[in-house]
Structure 1
C-alpha cells in the first residue's frame, strides 16, 4: 500500500514538472510571438511610412479595377482623399475618352500605358501606369498592384519643345524664302545696274567713235569738195583719181579699224585667260585717246613688258576706261588747268597692281568710302555706276580695287592675280 502511494506521488510529481516545463515554454513562445508581432507592426509602420511618402502613387486593385489601397501620393495627384477613393473603380478617375476604349474590367492591355486623370478640381493630368497582375495560390488572378507617375510637366515641356521646333522650322522656311526673294531682287537689281552700265558705256563708245571719226571725216569732206574745184580747173586726170582714191581708202580703213577696235573692246570674255595688263591698258588708251586729247589730259604710262594676269582682258580694259572717264570728269568738274594721269604697274605677292594717279583735286575724305557704291556720284550728270561696275568686274577676277587721296589728286589701284605655276596647267587645258 505504501508502495502504491509512493508511485502515485512520483507520477504526480513528474506530471507537475512536465506541465510546469511546457507552461514555461509556452510563456516564452507567447513572449516571442508578441515580440514578433511588435516587430512586424514596426516594420509595417516603416513600410507604410516609406510607401506613403514616395513621389509615385502606389495602389492595389481587385480583379474588377476597384481600388483596395492607395498611398498618400494619390491625394497629392488627384485631390481625392483616401476615404473618397478606396472602394471606387479606377476608371472613375480617368478621362471619359480614355474609358471608352477600355473594358469594364482592368484587363492586361492596361498593364503599361499613358492616360489622362481628372483631378478633384476638374484639371487634367497626364500619368503613366505600371501594373502587375496578382494571382491566388490556385493561379487565379485576384487583382493588380502597381504605381502611377505624374508626367504632366514633362509632357508639357515636350509639347513646348515640339512647338518651339515647329516654330523654328517655320521661321527657317520663312527666312529661307525671304533670303531667296532678296537674292532674286538683288540679282534683278544687278541685272538692271549692268544694263544701265552698258548703256552708259555705249554712250561713251559712241562719243569716242565720234571723236575718232571726226578727223577722217573732215579729210574726206575736204577731198570731196576738192573734186569740184579740180573739175573746174581741169586738174582731174588718172593721177588725181589715183591720189583721191588712195587717200579716201586710207581714211575709210581707219574708220573701219576704229569700229573693229570698239567691237573687240566691248565683246565680253566668256572664260578667264592669261592676258597682258599693259596691252589691256594700251587698248583702253587707244580708244579713249581722242577724248583725252580734246580735254587736254596728258597720260604718262611706262610700258613695262608682258606682266601676265589671269582674268578677263576686255573687261579689264573696260575698267581702265571707267577710271580714265572718272578722271576726265573730275578734271572738268574741278576746272583743273594742268591735267595729268600717271599709270604704273607693280607686283605684290601673287598680284599685279596697276595704279592710276591723277591731279584732279582728290575726293572728299568723308565720301571716299562710298565711291564704289551703286548710284553714288559727285558729278551733276553722273550715273554712279562706273566705279561700282569696276569693283564688280575686278572682284569677279578674284582681285580688288581701292581708292585713296594722293597729293592733290586720287589714286585708284587695281589688283588682279598674276599667272602662276598653279594656273598654267588650267590654261593649257583650255
Structure 2
C-alpha cells in the first residue's frame, strides 16, 4: 500500500521510465527463465541420451564377463563410467535380480530391490535412472543399472544464466532507461503541456485558453476532449458571468430601487400601509405620524377600524370586507381618520388585496392621502360658487334688465315718434279754417240764402266746407292710427315689463312650459340688439313635448349665449351675419344649440373657455359662460362648445336630461353629476 501510494506520487516521466524498465526487465527475466528451463530440459535430455549411449557401450563390453561370470572383469568394465562425475551409482544385476558387479566408486546398494525396475531411462527429480540390458545372441545376460544426478549441472547452468542475465539485464535496463528518457517525452510532454494548460486556466480563470494537440493518439484525443470540455466550460462560464453580471446589476438595481423605495416611502406625504388578514397594521411609514399624530410603534398591531371616525366606520368596514371576500380588486373612498389630539383628518383611502404566492390572502395594502385641505377648499369653493351663482344671477338679471330697458327704449322711441306726428298733425290741422267758416256764416246768418247764392264768398263756401271736411276726416284717420300705434307701443312696454317681472322671480322654481316659447322669450330679450347689429336669426325648432324646467336658469343661460353669438357675429365684420337657434330631442336629451358664423374660437381657448374669469372681450367680466356651465350642471345637463377655429364660427349646445314619459327636463342634478364640455363642462 505504501509502495502504491509512493508510485501514485511519482512524476509521470519517472513512472513511464519505471514502466518501460520494468517491462524490459520482466521480459528479460521471463525470456531467460524460459531459456533456462529449455536449456535445463535439453541438458537433461542430452545427458540422458549420452548416458544411454555410454551405457550401451559398457553393456556391450560386459557381455563377455557376464557370459563367463567374470565379476572382476565386469567391475573393470564399469570403471569406464567413472569419467562421468554425475554418475552416483552403477551396478550389473543378474537375470535373477541379484547384484553381480558394481561401480566401486559409486553409491553402495546392498540390494537390487531399492533400484527402480523400470527399463530405459527416467528422471526422478534431479536423479536419472537408466537400465540397459546386457544381451548376447538375444539372451539377456544381465542388466546394467546406472543412477546419475544432474543437480550440479543445473547449478552450473543456473550460474551461467544468472551471470548472463545480470549483465544483459543491467545493459538492457540502462538502454531502456536511456530510451525511455527519450521516448517518454512523446507521452509526457503532451500530458505535461495539458497539465500546464489546466494549471494556467485554474490560476488565471481564463477558459479561452486551449491545449495544443500533438497527435491523434489517446493523449491527443484526451487533449481534444479537454478542449471540448473547456469550450463547454467557457460557454457555461460566459453564461455564468453574464448571469452574475446581470444578477449584480439586478442586485444593484434592487438595492437602488429598495433605497429609492424606502426613501420614497419614508418621505412621501401619503401614508403607505399594510395590514394582516385580521385588519391589524403591520406596516406604516412616517407620514402616518404627521397626519394622525400617533406614533408608528403604538399603532402597529392595532386594528385599523379603531382609527376610523365612528360615522365612517361601517362604510369603511363594508369596503374592506368586499375586498377580503374578493368581490372587488380594489377600492377608493374618502373617510375621516382620528388624530391623537381628538380631532380628525379627511383621508382618501386607496386599498387593494395583498396575496401570497399561493394565492392566500395576506391582508390589505394601499395608501392614505390627506385631503383635509382639499375638503376645506371644496367647502370654501362651494360657498364661493353659491356666491358666484348669486352674483352671476344678479349680473344676468342686470343684463336682462339692460336688454329690457333697451327694448322699452326702442318702444318709447316709437311712442315719441307717434306723439310727434300727432303734435305736427294737430299743428297743421284745418280746424282753424273751420272756425273762420263758422264766423263767416254767423256774420251772414240773417241773409244766409242771399249770401250763399249771390255773394262770391258765399258761393265758394259749400265747396270749401266739403274740402275742409275731407281734410278733417284724413286728419282724424291719421290721428286715430297714431293713437292706435301709441296704444300698441304702450301695451308692448307693459308686456316687456311683465316678462321681466316674470323672469325676475326666485330661481329654483320649476314650471311646465313649451321650450320653444322660452327660446323665443330669450330671443325677444335680445331682439333690439340683434336688429341693431343686422344679425339674421334662423330658427330650427323640432316638436318637443311640454317640459318641466327651471325657467329662470335656462333663460339666463340662453340670453347669455345669444348675446355672445351676437357679439361674435358683430366682431367678424361679415355682411351676412347669421345666428341659428336649434331645438332638438337627441337620444332622450333636450338640446338647445346657438350657432353663429362669427369670429370662431382658437383651439387653445376651447380648453379654458368655461374657466372663471376667462374672457376675450375687453368689456367682458369672464363669468357668464362659467356661471352658465355651473347652471347647466345644476340642471343635470352640460354646456358644450365646438369650433373649427378662428373665422369658422362657434356653437354652444345646452344639453338637458329629458324623460319623455314624465316630460321632465332640466331638473337639479345629483351632486355626483359632472359638468362637461368640448371643452365640455
Structure 1 residues 405 and 228, CA gap change in structure 2 (3 angstroms): closer
Q: Superposed, which structure 2 residues align to 1:163-312 within 5 Å? A: 168-170=337-339, 173-175=344-346, 178=373, 181-226=376-421, 228-234=423-429, 239=476, 245-312=483-550
Deviation at 1:180, TM superposition (A): 5.6
Question: Per-residue displacement from partner, 1:179-213 (whole Å, max 9, x unpaired)?
Answer: 56424421332233223323432332233223312
Deviation at 1:324, TM superposition (A): 0.9
Structure 1 residues 336 and 239, CA gap change in structure 2 (3 angstroms): closer
Indicate whether 1:343 and 2:581 are aligned: yes
Deviation at 1:347, TM superposition (A): 2.5
**Distance (whole Å) between structure 2 residues aligned to residue 248 and residue 353 of structure 1:** 39
State the match for 2:621 in structure 1: 383
Moved more, 266-275 or 285-294: 266-275
State the match for 1:418 in structure 2: 658
**Distance (whole Å) between structure 2 residues aligned to residue 224 and residue 343 of structure 1:** 37
**Distance (whole Å) between structure 1 residues aligned to residue 514 and residue 663 of structure 2:** 15
Indicate whether 1:355 and 2:593 are aligned: yes
Q: Superposed, which structure 2 residues align to 1:364-379 within 5 Å? A: 364-379=602-617
Structure 1 residues 347 and 218, CA gap change in structure 2 (3 angstroms): closer
Question: Per-residue displacement from partner, 1:139-198 (whole Å, max 9, x unpaired)?
Answer: xxxxxxxxxxxxxxxxx9762447997795128724486456424421332233223323
**Distance (whole Å) between structure 2 residues aligned to residue 307 and residue 406 of structure 1:** 32
SS of match in other structure, 1:302: strand
**Distance (whole Å) between structure 2 residues aligned to residue 355 and residue 266 of structure 1:** 24
User: Does the 8 Å contact 2:565/2:594 carry over to 1?
Assistant: no
Question: Per-residue displacement from partner, 1:72-103 (whole Å, max 9, x unpaired)?
Answer: xxxxxxxxxxxxxxxxxxxxxxxxxxxxxxxx
Deviation at 1:333, TM superposition (A): 3.3
Indicate whether 1:402 and 2:656 are aligned: no
**Distance (whole Å) between structure 2 residues aligned to residue 406 and residue 307 of structure 1:** 32
**Distance (whole Å) between structure 2 residues aligned to residue 244 and residue 412 of structure 1:** 42
Structure 1 residues 188 and 349, CA gap change in structure 2 (3 angstroms): same
**Distance (whole Å) between structure 2 residues aligned to residue 332 and residue 215 of structure 1:** 20
User: Does the 8 Å contact 1:357/1:406 carry over to 2?
Assistant: no
Deviation at 1:399, TM superposition (A): 1.0
Structure 1 residues 235 and 224, CA gap change in structure 2 (3 angstroms): farther
TM-score calculated relative to the size of structure 1: 0.55
Bigger radius of gyration among the two: 2
SS of match in other structure, 1:316: helix
User: Does the 8 Å contact 1:272/1:312 carry over to 2?
Assistant: yes
Structure 1 residues 199 and 268, CA gap change in structure 2 (3 angstroms): closer
Q: What count of residue pairs does the alignment treat as equivalent?
A: 270
Deviation at 1:404, TM superposition (A): 1.0
Superposed structure 1 runs of 4+ greater than 6 Å apart: 162-167
Deviation at 1:235, TM superposition (A): 5.3
**Distance (whole Å) between structure 2 residues aligned to residue 273 and residue 205 of structure 1:** 20
User: Does the 8 Å contact 2:600/2:650 carry over to 1?
Assistant: yes
**Distance (whole Å) between structure 2 residues aligned to residue 398 and residue 157 of structure 1:** 46
Q: Superposed, which structure 2 residues align to 1:125-164 within 5 Å? A: 159-161=298-300
Deviation at 1:227, TM superposition (A): 5.1
Structure 1 residues 338 and 268, CA gap change in structure 2 (3 angstroms): farther
TM-score calculated relative to the size of structure 2: 0.36
Moved more, 238-247 or 319-328: 238-247
SS of match in other structure, 1:370: coil
Q: Which of these residues, 299, 303, 320, is aligned with residue 558 of structure 2?
A: 320
Moved more, 289-298 or 240-249: 240-249
State the match for 1:34 in structure 2: none
> Is there any run of 5+ residues in structure 2 with no aligned partner, and where?
1-294, 309-336, 347-370, 432-471, 668-681
Deviation at 1:277, TM superposition (A): 2.5
SS of match in other structure, 1:380: coil
**Distance (whole Å) between structure 2 residues aligned to residue 222 and residue 352 of structure 1:** 43
Structure 1 residues 206 and 269, CA gap change in structure 2 (3 angstroms): closer
User: Does the 8 Å contact 1:309/1:416 carry over to 2?
Assistant: no
